[in-house]
A = this chain, B = another copy of it.
């Protein structure tokens, strides 16, 4: 493992794709983010991105998350993984074009889950890439599962695992909203942004904000943060910023104050 503690940057699928149109990548946004990442020039960075309109529609059509029930799903598993590599390729193109030595690491090649949770994870190549000052890039993926046959591994679960495994200094979540609100900011104009929540405050608000995925009043953000609990409990603070707004990811990477939510017992 590299001596300096890494930063894990998550880039949401809703940031780099238009979720309303299948296979529509936001290539201008991808290029802007690559520019910001180049400019911030953070050492020991790991990037994880989501699937947006590349991974999700096909995964949903074939019920990949629920596991193998029927052989006809197999082509859906193959397609979902393939489409994720295509989206990943667009981001890799942009990062490398910006002279960033970024190297993709394929989650389904190195991870097997058990009932949807990471069971084994060969992270040797990621550790070595960090040691050599490369930028490893991973993504939510269709993966094999020892109980279900296969499933979907979310980028968020992967972020928590990487942050824990590599003793990350911080997690930056680049999403399409300003942070965690007390209601869904996309539908509720009066939704109030939490600027800072301690781990205890976060846990305390569970019954109010997101008792279950179905009852997540925050529009899904609470559920994403809950997925990061293993890292938060190890003391890794999480900063949520709106990555659809220029310069936010750059400022967050530089440790500058950005409108957003900080979760954890340290302010970034």
Contacts and interface: CB of A to CB of B under 8 A. Distances in A.
Interface string A75-109: 10111011001101100110010011111111011
Contacts of A89: 82, 85-86, 89
Q: Which of A82, A86, A133 has the most CB of B within 10 A?
A: A82
Please classify how large the interface on chain A is, using the bins under 10, 10 to 19, 20 to 34, 35 or more.
35 or more
Contacts of A68: 132
A101 B77 contact: yes
Contacts of A96: 75, 78-79, 82
B102 A78 contact: yes
Interface stretch (A121-129, A200-208, A225-233): A121-129
B104 A125 contact: no
A74 B92 contact: no
A124 B146 CA distance: 11
A103 B108 contact: yes
A125 B133 CA distance: 27
Nearest to A73: B101
Interface string A140-171: 00001000011000000000000000000000
Contacts of A77: 101, 103, 134
A112 interface: yes
Interface of A: 68, 71, 74-75, 77-79, 81-82, 85-86, 88-89, 92-93, 96, 99-106, 108-110, 112, 120, 122, 124-125, 128-129, 132-134, 144, 149-150
9 contacts: A77-B101, A78-B96, A78-B103, A85-B89, A104-B106, A105-B108, A108-B125, A120-B124, A132-B150
